[in-house]
Structure 1
């Protein structure tokens, strides 16, 4: 949530014959390690409620909704949000829409990270950004909250700001004193026409994050 929307939303060798010994790894443990490294939590930030569905501030929800619909998967109501599971190239993407409203987003992120044993480097948070022109993409591996209450709460709950975030520009084309109305308003006709292509790119970013890695994804998509 943006600041001005506070209420909405080596141990020594023992015997010579141990030199070539390898640590034993039980198969179930090995598989568990692999499954953790190939699992990603993609969190689209937004506000719940029909009145917010098509608003600029809900672009995080809209992006994960787009990917889910495109791939024919459904969201299920779960603790602290709605969750959809998407499998692609050996990776599992958990698409999460928190139901906590923006300023409590960290609670849902922490819960699902712990429950699914997902490491911090496999988290991607998707938010809107007033400081970027419409549809502009900016992906970073860490950073401040930038005045966004959703990121602010995630930073507080996780006690770090070293996680990947994907900012989607919504521009700042509003008159003085109309920031809240603008952010919580619907897209204009020009934006609605351009959104499908932008959402397509956004869905590719999610897949690239899990398959090509963050650095490659930043190189390929930033500024696009």
Structure 2
């Protein structure tokens, strides 16, 4: 089984914000795969897809900074290694719409990833980072990540969500190295 975790914050008020890009990508995968049976388990919204292998789509409902609680519970319940997990999340250090895939590494200051690292005790999960850009001068980071995309950014992020879903499908089908070669441009 593979687990695809999209990071975000629960609640309608956060649904279209920069910090919820991970949820948006998981929703795009669910749409593509015809998955609509979401259930609340392990402090997350989860849905299962049966393709070549079972894939669990996960949207933690613990708020971003505690995302690891849900991911850790799921990993323990299904007896998964960190390598079976793909995490999709927003990244301030990438321009809006840019993707970066990688295996291993630090959190880069992302609190959701910090929480996952602490719960898994390993850094060997695949990451699909989706660029949301840096805050404008005078903006607090917390306010920025909880803001909506501007009209100019909307088409870029819509394309990035589609490409990030393509990247996840490539990881599942061909592995992370091929996906990195295709999407880290």
Q: For this structure pair, what is the TM-score category when the shorter chain's length is used for normalisation?
A: over 0.9
Q: Give the structure with higher Rg (CA).
A: 1
TM normalised by structure 1 equals 0.78
Out of 89, 94, 97, the residue aligned to residue 127 of structure 1 is 89
- Mapped partners of 2:161, 2:81: distance in 1: 26
Residues in 2 aligned to 1:79 and 1:160: alpha-carbon distance in whole angstroms: 20
Of stretches 41-50 and 68-77 in structure 1, the one that deviates more from structure 2 is 68-77
Contact 1:91–1:211 (8 Å) recurs in 2: no
Query: In the alignment, is the contact (CA less than 8 A) between 1:54 and 1:186 conserved in 2?
Result: yes
Equivalent residue number for residue 87 of structure 1: 50
Bigger CA drift: 51-60 or 150-159?
150-159
Moved more, 129-138 or 114-123: 114-123
Structure 1 match to 2:7? 45
Counterpart position of 1:176:
138
User: RMSD of the alignment, in Å?
Assistant: 1.4
Q: Which of 149, 159, 162 matches 2:121? A: 159
Which ranges of structure 2 fall in alignment gaps of 5 or more residues? Answer: none
What SS is found at the alignment partner of 2:152? helix
CA distance in 2, matches of 1:164, 1:222: 13
Question: Residue 77 of structure 1: CA displacement?
Answer: 2.0
Residue of 107, 120, 141 corresponding to 1:145: 107
1:108 maps to which of 63, 70, 73: 70
Matched positions, count: 184
The question of 1:73 aligning with 2:43 is answered no
Q: Secondary structure of the residue that 1:200 maps to in structure 2?
A: helix
SS of structure 2 residue aligned to 1:189: coil
Provide the rounded CA distance (Å) in 1 between the counterparts of 2:83 and 2:19.
25
Give the superposition deviation at 1:70: 2.5
Runs of at least 4 residues off by over 6 Å: none
* Distance of 2:84 and 2:56 partners within structure 1: 10
The structural deviation recorded for 1:103 is: 1.5
Gaps of 5+ in 1: 1-38
Deviation at 1:201, TM superposition (A): 1.1
Residue 159 of structure 2 is aligned to residue 197 of structure 1: yes
Shift of 1:110: 1.2
